[in-house]
């Protein structure tokens, strides 16, 4: 029997990335997409007035570091379907939603999809004015803080921090 991966597979990730690209309304570098995906998934880390798309766990603050491969696979999947445009320039490679992307996404109706749209919009509103270097600095300054909060929570509950 073939093992089928339901969560975090290239199709699920690709659709989430497509939503992010549609809502950002601009071209994003690969590293920006990784940051935007993390922020969309864990927006509660950015602003405690909000919950996150996915539940918190002690290791999610480093997810953006290890998700490069699956995000690349997701981008390749939606690119092969003509849903994103890859832009090549002297500044590097950027990705943006194709003209067909919004129409494609109009067929999604689930509550989870609505939440992805909601958080992708919040991320775009809050971070679209950041340059890639400003976004990198933001992550360096806040990831340690977020990780520390989870480590304190684990210690408070009496769990081992391994």
Q: What is the pLDDT of residues 80-94, one digit of tens each?
A: 999 999 999 998 999
pLDDT of residue 64: 60
Total Cβ atoms within 10 A of residue 123 = 22
pLDDT of residue 35: 93
Q: How many residues belong to the chain?
A: 162
Q: What is the pLDDT of residues 106-155, one digit of tens each?
A: 999 999 899 999 999 999 999 999 999 999 999 888 865 544 444 444 33
- pTM (two decimals): 0.82
CA-to-CA dists, residue 57 to 19, 47, 113, 152, 154, angstroms? 24, 16, 22, 12, 10
pLDDT of residue 58: 58
Q: Which of 38, 30, 114 is nearest to 73 (CA)?
A: 30
pLDDT of residue 48: 74
pLDDT of residue 87: 96
pLDDT of residue 50: 79
Q: What is the pLDDT of residues 19-70, one digit of tens each?
A: 999 999 999 999 999 999 988 988 887 777 877 776 566 555 556 666 788 9
pLDDT of residue 67: 79
pLDDT of residue 141: 85
Cα dihedral sign, 137-88-40-34: negative
């Amino acid at each position: 029997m073939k093992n089928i991966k339901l969560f975090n597979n290239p199709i699920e990730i690709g659709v989430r990335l497509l939503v992010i690209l549609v809502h950002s309304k601009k071209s994003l570098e690969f590293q920006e997409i990784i940051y935007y995906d993390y922020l969309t998934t864990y927006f509660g880390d950015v602003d405690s007035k909000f919950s996150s798309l996915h539940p918190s766990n002690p290791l999610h603050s480093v997810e953006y570091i290890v998700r490069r491969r699956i995000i690349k696979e997701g981008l390749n999947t939606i690119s092969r379907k003509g849903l994103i445009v890859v832009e090549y320039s002297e500044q590097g490679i950027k990705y943006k939603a194709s003209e067909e992307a919004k129409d494609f996404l109009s067929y999604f109706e689930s509550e989870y999809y609505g939440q992805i749209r909601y958080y992708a919009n919040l991320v775009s509103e809050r971070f679209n004015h950041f340059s890639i270097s400003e976004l990198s600095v933001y992550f360096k300054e806040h990831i340690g803080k977020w990780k520390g909060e989870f480590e304190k929570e684990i210690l408070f509950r009496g769990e081992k921090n391994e």
